[in-house]
Amino acid sequence: MSQPKSNKKPAIFFVAKAREPLFSKKNRALLKDPLDDNNPITVQVLGICSALAITVQLKPAIVMSLSVVAVMAASNVIVSILRNAIPNRIRIIVQLVVVASMVILVDQVLRAFAYDVSKQLSIFIGLIITNCIVMGRLEAFALGNGVWKSFLDGVGNAAGYGFMLILVAFFRELLGSGKLYGYQVIPDALYEMGYENNGLMLLSPMALITLGIIIWVQRARNRKLIEKN
Amino acid sequence: MNRDSNVYTFGFAAAMVLVVASVLAYTASSLKDLQAENVRKEKMQNILSTIGIETDREGAEKLFNTYIVEQLALRNDGTVDEAVDAFSDIKLAFELKKDANDQRFPLYVANVDAATYYIIPLRGAGLWDAIWGYIALNEDRNTIKGAVFDHKGETAGLGAEITQQWFMDRFVDEKIFNTSGDLVGINVSKTNNDPNDTDKDDHEVDAISGATITGDGVSAMIVERLQHYLPYLKANDLAYNN
Protein backbone atom coordinates (compact mmCIF):
# COMPACT_ATOMS: atom_id res chain seq x y z
CA MET A 1 0.00 0.00 0.00
CA SER A 2 1.81 3.03 -1.15
CA GLN A 3 -0.15 6.10 -0.66
CA PRO A 4 1.22 9.39 -1.85
CA LYS A 5 2.16 11.37 1.18
CA SER A 6 0.07 14.43 1.44
CA ASN A 7 1.21 17.46 3.33
CA LYS A 8 -2.25 17.91 4.58
CA LYS A 9 -2.69 16.67 8.08
CA PRO A 10 -5.96 15.04 8.98
CA ALA A 11 -8.50 17.69 9.58
CA ILE A 12 -9.09 16.74 13.16
CA PHE A 13 -5.81 18.39 14.20
CA PHE A 14 -7.03 21.71 12.97
CA VAL A 15 -10.17 21.67 14.97
CA ALA A 16 -8.54 23.36 17.88
CA LYS A 17 -10.57 22.96 20.99
CA ALA A 18 -10.54 26.17 22.96
CA ARG A 19 -7.89 25.02 25.39
CA GLU A 20 -7.60 26.35 28.85
CA PRO A 21 -4.31 28.10 29.48
CA LEU A 22 -2.07 26.24 31.95
CA PHE A 23 -2.50 28.86 34.60
CA SER A 24 -6.03 29.99 33.97
CA LYS A 25 -7.89 31.67 36.76
CA LYS A 26 -9.54 28.40 37.71
CA ASN A 27 -6.23 26.59 37.80
CA ARG A 28 -4.58 29.29 39.85
CA ALA A 29 -7.43 28.96 42.31
CA LEU A 30 -6.58 25.27 42.70
CA LEU A 31 -3.17 26.32 43.91
CA LYS A 32 -4.22 29.34 45.92
CA ASP A 33 -7.40 28.30 47.69
CA PRO A 34 -5.84 25.70 49.95
CA LEU A 35 -3.37 28.30 51.18
CA ASP A 36 -6.08 30.40 52.77
CA ASP A 37 -9.80 30.07 52.00
CA ASN A 38 -9.78 26.31 52.00
CA ASN A 39 -6.71 25.48 54.04
CA PRO A 40 -6.66 21.77 54.86
CA ILE A 41 -5.48 22.36 58.41
CA THR A 42 -7.12 25.54 59.61
CA VAL A 43 -10.37 25.34 57.63
CA GLN A 44 -10.94 21.67 56.93
CA VAL A 45 -9.09 20.62 60.11
CA LEU A 46 -7.40 17.63 58.46
CA GLY A 47 -3.90 16.37 59.09
CA ILE A 48 -3.83 17.77 62.62
CA CYS A 49 -2.02 14.76 64.08
CA SER A 50 1.24 15.35 62.25
CA ALA A 51 0.84 19.11 62.58
CA LEU A 52 1.04 18.71 66.34
CA ALA A 53 3.77 16.13 66.39
CA ILE A 54 6.49 17.46 64.15
CA THR A 55 6.31 21.19 64.64
CA VAL A 56 8.79 21.43 67.49
CA GLN A 57 11.50 22.57 65.11
CA LEU A 58 11.48 24.19 61.70
CA LYS A 59 13.74 21.73 59.95
CA PRO A 60 11.65 18.57 60.29
CA ALA A 61 8.54 20.62 59.57
CA ILE A 62 10.04 21.82 56.29
CA VAL A 63 11.21 18.36 55.30
CA MET A 64 7.83 16.93 56.19
CA SER A 65 6.10 19.62 54.10
CA LEU A 66 8.29 18.91 51.10
CA SER A 67 7.68 15.19 51.49
CA VAL A 68 3.94 15.72 51.59
CA VAL A 69 4.12 17.97 48.51
CA ALA A 70 6.01 15.25 46.66
CA VAL A 71 3.69 12.48 47.80
CA MET A 72 0.49 14.40 47.11
CA ALA A 73 1.50 15.76 43.72
CA ALA A 74 2.74 12.38 42.55
CA SER A 75 -0.17 10.33 43.83
CA ASN A 76 -2.72 12.84 42.56
CA VAL A 77 -1.13 12.67 39.12
CA ILE A 78 -0.96 8.86 39.11
CA VAL A 79 -4.54 8.42 40.28
CA SER A 80 -5.70 11.01 37.76
CA ILE A 81 -3.95 9.18 34.92
CA LEU A 82 -5.51 5.91 35.99
CA ARG A 83 -8.89 7.39 36.85
CA ASN A 84 -10.64 5.80 33.87
CA ALA A 85 -8.99 2.45 34.42
CA ILE A 86 -9.35 2.00 38.15
CA PRO A 87 -12.07 -0.53 38.94
CA ASN A 88 -14.63 1.24 41.04
CA ARG A 89 -14.92 -1.44 43.67
CA ILE A 90 -11.27 -1.39 44.67
CA ARG A 91 -10.58 2.28 44.12
CA ILE A 92 -9.80 2.98 47.78
CA ILE A 93 -7.33 0.10 47.82
CA VAL A 94 -5.72 1.38 44.65
CA GLN A 95 -5.42 4.87 46.15
CA LEU A 96 -3.86 3.42 49.28
CA VAL A 97 -1.36 1.42 47.26
CA VAL A 98 -0.40 4.49 45.23
CA VAL A 99 0.04 6.65 48.33
CA ALA A 100 1.85 3.92 50.24
CA SER A 101 4.35 3.30 47.47
CA MET A 102 5.00 7.03 47.09
CA VAL A 103 5.58 7.26 50.82
CA ILE A 104 8.01 4.36 50.76
CA LEU A 105 9.86 6.01 47.90
CA VAL A 106 10.16 9.25 49.87
CA ASP A 107 11.28 7.33 52.94
CA GLN A 108 13.96 5.48 50.98
CA VAL A 109 15.25 8.67 49.39
CA LEU A 110 15.40 10.47 52.75
CA ARG A 111 17.26 7.55 54.30
CA ALA A 112 19.86 7.79 51.59
CA PHE A 113 20.23 11.56 51.38
CA ALA A 114 18.93 13.06 54.63
CA TYR A 115 19.55 10.35 57.20
CA ASP A 116 19.24 12.42 60.37
CA VAL A 117 16.00 13.97 59.27
CA SER A 118 14.65 10.60 58.27
CA LYS A 119 15.40 9.26 61.74
CA GLN A 120 13.64 12.21 63.29
CA LEU A 121 10.62 11.86 61.05
CA SER A 122 10.70 8.06 60.96
CA ILE A 123 7.20 7.22 62.05
CA PHE A 124 5.57 10.33 60.63
CA ILE A 125 6.74 9.64 57.11
CA GLY A 126 4.91 6.35 57.39
CA LEU A 127 1.93 8.21 58.72
CA ILE A 128 1.63 10.31 55.57
CA ILE A 129 -0.28 7.28 54.31
CA THR A 130 -2.97 7.89 56.86
CA ASN A 131 -2.93 11.67 56.43
CA CYS A 132 -6.55 12.44 55.64
CA ILE A 133 -5.55 15.21 53.26
CA VAL A 134 -3.86 12.84 50.84
CA MET A 135 -6.65 10.29 50.61
CA GLY A 136 -9.24 13.04 50.69
CA ARG A 137 -7.84 14.82 47.65
CA LEU A 138 -7.45 11.58 45.72
CA GLU A 139 -11.04 10.59 46.35
CA ALA A 140 -12.55 14.04 46.00
CA PHE A 141 -10.48 15.51 43.21
CA ALA A 142 -8.02 13.32 41.34
CA LEU A 143 -10.58 10.62 40.52
CA GLY A 144 -12.71 13.14 38.66
CA ASN A 145 -10.27 15.62 37.16
CA GLY A 146 -7.53 15.81 34.58
CA VAL A 147 -3.85 15.28 35.21
CA TRP A 148 -2.71 18.89 35.23
CA LYS A 149 -5.53 20.06 37.49
CA SER A 150 -4.93 17.18 39.85
CA PHE A 151 -1.27 18.04 39.99
CA LEU A 152 -2.07 21.65 40.90
CA ASP A 153 -4.62 20.53 43.43
CA GLY A 154 -2.10 18.19 45.05
CA VAL A 155 0.61 20.81 45.20
CA GLY A 156 -1.83 23.44 46.45
CA ASN A 157 -3.23 21.35 49.28
CA ALA A 158 0.15 20.05 50.33
CA ALA A 159 1.47 23.61 50.29
CA GLY A 160 -1.45 24.75 52.41
CA TYR A 161 -0.66 21.99 54.86
CA GLY A 162 3.06 22.73 54.77
CA PHE A 163 2.52 26.45 55.19
CA MET A 164 0.64 25.88 58.46
CA LEU A 165 3.20 23.33 59.62
CA ILE A 166 6.03 25.76 59.05
CA LEU A 167 4.15 28.64 60.65
CA VAL A 168 3.45 26.65 63.81
CA ALA A 169 7.01 25.31 63.89
CA PHE A 170 8.35 28.85 63.52
CA PHE A 171 6.64 30.02 66.71
CA ARG A 172 7.31 26.83 68.63
CA GLU A 173 11.02 26.76 67.87
CA LEU A 174 11.42 30.49 68.40
CA LEU A 175 9.62 30.62 71.75
CA GLY A 176 10.44 27.10 72.89
CA SER A 177 14.15 26.92 72.21
CA GLY A 178 15.05 30.45 71.11
CA LYS A 179 16.26 29.13 67.79
CA LEU A 180 15.21 29.11 64.16
CA TYR A 181 16.25 26.25 61.90
CA GLY A 182 18.70 25.22 64.61
CA TYR A 183 20.40 28.60 64.85
CA GLN A 184 20.09 30.67 67.97
CA VAL A 185 18.25 33.91 67.24
CA ILE A 186 17.48 35.18 70.73
CA PRO A 187 20.63 36.99 71.81
CA ASP A 188 22.56 35.81 74.87
CA ALA A 189 22.13 39.27 76.35
CA LEU A 190 18.41 38.68 76.69
CA TYR A 191 19.01 35.41 78.55
CA GLU A 192 21.36 37.21 80.90
CA MET A 193 18.59 39.68 81.64
CA GLY A 194 16.50 36.79 82.86
CA TYR A 195 14.63 35.71 79.74
CA GLU A 196 13.87 32.02 79.63
CA ASN A 197 12.71 29.73 76.87
CA ASN A 198 9.16 28.59 77.29
CA GLY A 199 9.46 24.83 77.74
CA LEU A 200 5.73 24.45 77.34
CA MET A 201 6.04 25.43 73.70
CA LEU A 202 7.93 22.20 73.08
CA LEU A 203 4.98 20.09 74.16
CA SER A 204 2.14 19.12 71.83
CA PRO A 205 -0.64 20.98 73.67
CA MET A 206 0.98 24.29 72.76
CA ALA A 207 0.95 23.28 69.10
CA LEU A 208 -2.79 22.99 69.34
CA ILE A 209 -3.05 26.37 71.05
CA THR A 210 -0.72 27.96 68.49
CA LEU A 211 -2.88 26.50 65.77
CA GLY A 212 -5.96 27.87 67.49
CA ILE A 213 -4.47 31.34 67.54
CA ILE A 214 -3.57 31.04 63.86
CA ILE A 215 -7.16 30.06 63.05
CA TRP A 216 -8.40 33.03 65.05
CA VAL A 217 -6.11 35.45 63.22
CA GLN A 218 -7.02 33.94 59.88
CA ARG A 219 -10.75 34.30 60.49
CA ALA A 220 -10.36 37.83 61.74
CA ARG A 221 -8.67 38.68 58.43
CA ASN A 222 -10.78 36.55 56.16
CA ARG A 223 -14.44 37.17 57.01
CA LYS A 224 -15.65 34.60 54.48
CA LEU A 225 -14.59 31.84 56.85
CA ILE A 226 -16.81 32.88 59.72
CA GLU A 227 -19.78 30.59 60.03
CA LYS A 228 -23.17 32.28 60.05
CA ASN A 229 -25.60 31.78 62.92
CA MET B 1 -14.36 -3.26 28.64
CA ASN B 2 -16.49 -3.71 31.69
CA ARG B 3 -14.67 -2.04 34.53
CA ASP B 4 -16.89 -3.66 37.11
CA SER B 5 -16.29 -7.25 36.08
CA ASN B 6 -14.45 -9.53 38.46
CA VAL B 7 -11.88 -10.47 35.86
CA TYR B 8 -10.98 -6.85 35.23
CA THR B 9 -10.82 -6.06 38.93
CA PHE B 10 -8.52 -8.97 39.68
CA GLY B 11 -6.44 -8.29 36.60
CA PHE B 12 -5.99 -4.67 37.56
CA ALA B 13 -5.04 -5.56 41.12
CA ALA B 14 -2.50 -8.13 39.95
CA ALA B 15 -0.90 -5.75 37.45
CA MET B 16 -0.78 -2.99 40.04
CA VAL B 17 0.97 -5.20 42.57
CA LEU B 18 3.55 -6.28 40.01
CA VAL B 19 4.33 -2.73 38.92
CA VAL B 20 4.50 -1.34 42.44
CA ALA B 21 6.64 -4.21 43.68
CA SER B 22 9.19 -3.83 40.92
CA VAL B 23 9.43 -0.05 41.27
CA LEU B 24 9.95 -0.26 45.02
CA ALA B 25 12.40 -3.15 44.77
CA TYR B 26 14.42 -1.26 42.20
CA THR B 27 14.56 1.91 44.32
CA ALA B 28 15.43 0.05 47.48
CA SER B 29 18.27 -1.85 45.87
CA SER B 30 19.72 1.14 44.06
CA LEU B 31 19.78 3.30 47.22
CA LYS B 32 21.02 0.47 49.43
CA ASP B 33 24.70 1.43 49.35
CA LEU B 34 24.08 5.04 50.31
CA GLN B 35 21.82 3.97 53.16
CA ALA B 36 24.28 1.38 54.43
CA GLU B 37 27.00 4.02 54.43
CA ASN B 38 24.83 6.27 56.62
CA VAL B 39 24.18 3.42 59.03
CA ARG B 40 27.88 2.57 59.17
CA LYS B 41 28.88 6.14 60.00
CA GLU B 42 26.14 6.42 62.57
CA LYS B 43 27.52 3.32 64.27
CA MET B 44 30.93 4.99 64.47
CA GLN B 45 29.28 8.12 65.79
CA ASN B 46 27.48 6.14 68.50
CA ILE B 47 30.62 4.29 69.55
CA LEU B 48 32.51 7.57 69.80
CA SER B 49 29.80 9.27 71.82
CA THR B 50 30.13 6.69 74.64
CA ILE B 51 33.64 7.94 75.30
CA GLY B 52 32.56 11.55 75.19
CA ILE B 53 33.55 12.41 71.65
CA GLU B 54 30.74 14.17 69.85
CA THR B 55 30.97 14.49 66.12
CA ASP B 56 28.74 14.82 63.12
CA ARG B 57 28.31 11.89 60.78
CA GLU B 58 30.75 13.21 58.22
CA GLY B 59 33.61 13.53 60.68
CA ALA B 60 32.89 10.23 62.39
CA GLU B 61 35.07 7.99 60.26
CA LYS B 62 38.22 10.04 60.71
CA LEU B 63 37.82 10.35 64.48
CA PHE B 64 36.88 6.69 64.74
CA ASN B 65 40.11 5.68 63.07
CA THR B 66 42.05 8.04 65.33
CA TYR B 67 40.65 6.99 68.68
CA ILE B 68 39.64 3.36 68.27
CA VAL B 69 42.92 1.50 68.45
CA GLU B 70 41.67 -2.09 68.57
CA GLN B 71 38.59 -3.85 67.24
CA LEU B 72 38.39 -7.33 68.67
CA ALA B 73 36.04 -10.21 67.96
CA LEU B 74 36.07 -12.23 71.18
CA ARG B 75 35.03 -15.83 71.69
CA ASN B 76 33.00 -16.83 74.70
CA ASP B 77 36.23 -17.86 76.49
CA GLY B 78 37.83 -14.46 76.04
CA THR B 79 40.22 -15.34 73.24
CA VAL B 80 40.32 -13.29 70.08
CA ASP B 81 39.09 -14.61 66.76
CA GLU B 82 41.42 -12.99 64.24
CA ALA B 83 39.39 -14.12 61.24
CA VAL B 84 36.42 -11.94 62.11
CA ASP B 85 36.22 -8.18 61.68
CA ALA B 86 34.43 -6.86 64.75
CA PHE B 87 32.98 -3.79 63.08
CA SER B 88 31.61 -5.07 59.82
CA ASP B 89 31.32 -8.86 60.15
CA ILE B 90 29.40 -9.12 63.37
CA LYS B 91 25.70 -8.34 63.30
CA LEU B 92 24.44 -8.67 66.84
CA ALA B 93 20.89 -9.28 65.66
CA PHE B 94 22.05 -12.55 64.10
CA GLU B 95 24.67 -13.39 66.72
CA LEU B 96 22.09 -13.28 69.50
CA LYS B 97 20.24 -16.20 67.91
CA LYS B 98 23.30 -18.44 68.05
CA ASP B 99 24.61 -20.56 70.87
CA ALA B 100 26.96 -18.55 73.09
CA ASN B 101 29.93 -20.67 72.03
CA ASP B 102 29.31 -19.92 68.36
CA GLN B 103 28.87 -16.20 68.88
CA ARG B 104 31.60 -13.64 68.44
CA PHE B 105 31.52 -10.69 70.79
CA PRO B 106 32.75 -7.39 69.40
CA LEU B 107 34.86 -5.16 71.61
CA TYR B 108 36.32 -1.79 70.74
CA VAL B 109 39.32 -0.46 72.58
CA ALA B 110 39.70 3.30 72.49
CA ASN B 111 42.61 5.41 73.46
CA VAL B 112 41.87 9.04 74.24
CA ASP B 113 44.56 11.24 75.78
CA ALA B 114 46.44 8.22 77.16
CA ALA B 115 43.28 6.82 78.79
CA THR B 116 41.98 3.46 77.64
CA TYR B 117 38.31 2.65 77.29
CA TYR B 118 36.52 -0.58 76.44
CA ILE B 119 33.38 -0.21 74.39
CA ILE B 120 30.89 -3.08 74.29
CA PRO B 121 27.93 -3.21 71.93
CA LEU B 122 24.60 -4.19 73.45
CA ARG B 123 21.44 -5.59 71.99
CA GLY B 124 18.27 -6.86 73.55
CA ALA B 125 14.52 -6.63 73.53
CA GLY B 126 12.40 -3.66 74.54
CA LEU B 127 8.63 -3.63 74.67
CA TRP B 128 7.83 -3.61 70.96
CA ASP B 129 11.02 -4.39 69.19
CA ALA B 130 14.78 -4.52 69.46
CA ILE B 131 16.77 -2.10 71.58
CA TRP B 132 20.51 -1.70 71.33
CA GLY B 133 23.35 0.49 72.36
CA TYR B 134 26.97 0.76 73.40
CA ILE B 135 28.51 0.95 76.82
CA ALA B 136 32.02 2.20 77.48
CA LEU B 137 34.05 1.09 80.49
CA ASN B 138 36.96 2.91 82.02
CA GLU B 139 40.40 1.42 82.33
CA ASP B 140 39.36 -0.39 85.53
CA ARG B 141 36.94 -2.35 83.32
CA ASN B 142 34.28 -1.68 85.91
CA THR B 143 33.19 1.95 85.94
CA ILE B 144 31.01 3.17 83.10
CA LYS B 145 32.42 5.99 81.04
CA GLY B 146 29.33 6.49 78.97
CA ALA B 147 26.39 4.73 77.39
CA VAL B 148 24.24 5.27 74.36
CA PHE B 149 20.96 3.55 73.56
CA ASP B 150 18.75 3.33 70.57
CA HIS B 151 15.61 1.44 69.69
CA LYS B 152 13.53 0.39 66.77
CA GLY B 153 9.96 0.89 67.85
CA GLU B 154 9.57 1.86 71.50
CA THR B 155 6.70 4.17 72.37
CA ALA B 156 7.51 7.80 71.64
CA GLY B 157 7.61 9.82 74.85
CA LEU B 158 7.89 6.71 77.04
CA GLY B 159 10.21 3.86 76.08
CA ALA B 160 11.76 5.93 73.32
CA GLU B 161 13.11 8.28 76.00
CA ILE B 162 16.00 5.85 76.56
CA THR B 163 17.69 7.63 73.67
CA GLN B 164 17.63 10.93 75.54
CA GLN B 165 20.86 12.33 76.86
CA TRP B 166 19.53 12.77 80.42
CA PHE B 167 18.74 9.08 80.62
CA MET B 168 22.02 7.94 79.15
CA ASP B 169 23.93 10.30 81.46
CA ARG B 170 22.56 8.46 84.50
CA PHE B 171 24.79 5.51 83.69
CA VAL B 172 28.00 7.48 83.84
CA ASP B 173 30.27 6.45 86.75
CA GLU B 174 28.01 3.55 87.75
CA LYS B 175 29.83 0.27 88.28
CA ILE B 176 29.02 -3.08 86.73
CA PHE B 177 30.71 -5.30 89.34
CA ASN B 178 29.83 -5.42 93.03
CA THR B 179 32.48 -5.38 95.73
CA SER B 180 32.90 -9.14 95.61
CA GLY B 181 33.63 -8.94 91.92
CA ASP B 182 30.35 -10.42 90.67
CA LEU B 183 28.78 -8.97 87.59
CA VAL B 184 25.57 -7.22 88.56
CA GLY B 185 25.22 -4.77 85.69
CA ILE B 186 23.09 -1.69 86.02
CA ASN B 187 19.51 -2.05 87.10
CA VAL B 188 17.02 0.42 85.66
CA SER B 189 15.04 0.56 88.84
CA LYS B 190 11.61 1.84 89.78
CA THR B 191 12.38 1.61 93.48
CA ASN B 192 15.60 3.54 93.31
CA ASN B 193 15.33 6.27 95.93
CA ASP B 194 17.89 8.33 94.18
CA PRO B 195 16.26 10.42 91.45
CA ASN B 196 19.30 12.61 90.99
CA ASP B 197 21.48 9.55 90.71
CA THR B 198 24.06 10.73 93.20
CA ASP B 199 24.80 7.26 94.56
CA LYS B 200 27.14 5.77 92.01
CA ASP B 201 27.81 2.54 93.92
CA ASP B 202 24.27 1.16 93.96
CA HIS B 203 24.34 -0.37 90.46
CA GLU B 204 21.00 1.31 89.85
CA VAL B 205 19.67 4.18 87.79
CA ASP B 206 16.26 5.75 88.04
CA ALA B 207 13.72 4.28 85.63
CA ILE B 208 11.48 6.27 83.29
CA SER B 209 7.84 6.46 84.32
CA GLY B 210 5.67 4.55 81.91
CA ALA B 211 8.59 2.71 80.39
CA THR B 212 8.94 -0.23 82.78
CA ILE B 213 9.35 -2.95 80.19
CA THR B 214 11.77 -0.96 78.07
CA GLY B 215 13.75 -0.19 81.24
CA ASP B 216 13.80 -3.85 82.25
CA GLY B 217 14.96 -4.61 78.72
CA VAL B 218 17.88 -2.23 79.19
CA SER B 219 18.85 -3.85 82.51
CA ALA B 220 18.59 -7.35 81.06
CA MET B 221 20.52 -6.47 77.93
CA ILE B 222 23.43 -5.02 79.90
CA VAL B 223 23.88 -8.12 82.06
CA GLU B 224 23.23 -10.56 79.24
CA ARG B 225 25.81 -8.99 76.96
CA LEU B 226 28.43 -8.18 79.56
CA GLN B 227 28.52 -11.71 81.01
CA HIS B 228 30.09 -12.94 77.79
CA TYR B 229 32.96 -10.53 78.22
CA LEU B 230 33.82 -11.69 81.75
CA PRO B 231 36.83 -13.77 80.72
CA TYR B 232 38.26 -10.74 78.97
CA LEU B 233 37.25 -8.11 81.51
CA LYS B 234 38.54 -10.15 84.44
CA ALA B 235 41.70 -11.28 82.69
CA ASN B 236 43.78 -8.83 84.66
CA ASP B 237 42.20 -9.87 87.94
CA LEU B 238 41.56 -6.38 89.16
CA ALA B 239 40.46 -5.71 92.68
CA TYR B 240 36.89 -4.50 93.03
CA ASN B 241 37.23 -2.11 95.89
CA ASN B 242 34.58 0.38 94.97
State how far residue B16 is from chain A, nearest Cα, in angstroms.
8
More confident residue, A126 or A44: A44
Cβ <8 Å between B12 and A85? yes
Q: Pick A87's closest partner by Cβ from B9, B28, B156.
A: B9
Q: Pick B31's closest partner by Cβ from A112, A116, A123.
A: A112
The residue extents of the domains of chain A are 36-224
* pLDDT beyond 80 at B128: yes
Confidence class for position B44, pLDDT limits 50, 70, 90: very high
Report the C-alpha dihedral over residues B222, B224, B226, B229, rounded to 10 degrees: -170
Cβ <8 Å between A104 and B4? no
- Residue B154 covered by a domain: yes
In B120-242, which ranges are continuous DSSP H helix? Answer: 165-169, 212-226, 230-233
| Domain tally, chain B | 1
pLDDT in the model for residue A229 = 63
User: What residues in A contact B27, CB-CB < 8 Å?
Assistant: 104-105, 108-109
Q: How far apart are CA A157 and CA A137, in angstroms?
A: 8
Structural domain boundaries, residue B50: 38-233
* pLDDT beyond 70 at B240: no
* pLDDT over 90, % of chain A: 32
Segment A25-71, tens digit of pLDDT: 888 888 888 888 888 888 888 888 778 878 888 888 888 898 899 99
pLDDT in the model for residue B220 = 94
More confident residue, B225 or B159: B225
Confidence class for position B214, pLDDT limits 50, 70, 90: very high
Cβ <8 Å between B24 and A94? no
pTM summary value: 0.72
Cβ <8 Å between B16 and A94? yes
In three-state form (DSSP H/G/I as H, E/B as E, the rest C), the secondary structure along chain A is CCCCCCCCCCHHHCCCCCCCCCCCHHHHHHHHHHHCCCCCCCCCCCCHHHHHHCCCCHHHHHHHHHHHHHHHHHHHHHHHHCCCCCCHHHHHHHHHHHHHHHHHHHHHHHHHHCHHHHHHHHHHHHHHHHCHHHHHHHHHCHHHCCHHHHHHHHHHHHHHHHHHHHHHHHHHHHHHHCEECCEECCCHHHHHCCCCCCHHHHCHHHHHHHHHHHHHHHHHHCHHHCCCC
- Residue B222 covered by a domain: yes
Residue pair A41/A161 in contact (Cβ under 8 Å)? The answer is yes
pLDDT in the model for residue A86 = 92
More confident residue, A229 or A15: A229
Residue type, B131: I
User: Among A7-11, A20-24, A78-82, B183-187, where is mean pLDDT lowest?
Assistant: A7-11
* pLDDT beyond 60 at B207: yes
b (16+ CB within 10 A) / e for A107-122: bbbbbbebbebbebbb
- Residue B106 covered by a domain: yes
State how far residue B156 is from chain A, nearest Cα, in angstroms.
10
* pLDDT over 70, % of chain B: 95
- Residue B147 covered by a domain: yes
- Residue B16 covered by a domain: no
Nearest chain B residue to A108 by CA: give it.
B28
User: Among A135-139, B29-33, B155-159, B237-241, where is mean pLDDT lowest?
Assistant: B237-241
* pLDDT beyond 60 at B20: yes
* Residue contacts between A and B (CB atoms, under 8 Å): 52
pLDDT in the model for residue A210 = 93
Beta-carbon contacts of residue A79 (< 8 Å; ≥ 6 apart): A86, A94, A95, A98, A138, A142, A143, A150
pLDDT in the model for residue B241 = 44
State how far residue B18 is from chain A, nearest Cα, in angstroms.
12
Q: Pick B35's closest partner by Cβ from A94, A104, A111.
A: A111
Segment B77-122, tens digit of pLDDT: 888 888 888 888 888 888 888 888 888 899 999 998 888 999 999 9
Cα torsion angle, B118, B137, B74, B124, sign: negative
Mean pLDDT along residues B170-194: 87
pLDDT in the model for residue A7 = 54
Q: How far apart are CA B156 and CA A140, in angstroms?
A: 33
Q: Pick B13's closest partner by Cβ from A88, A90, A105.
A: A90
Which of B1, B17, B27 is the best residue to mutate to test the A interface, defined by the most A CB atoms within 10 Å of its own CB?
B27
pLDDT in the model for residue A1 = 45
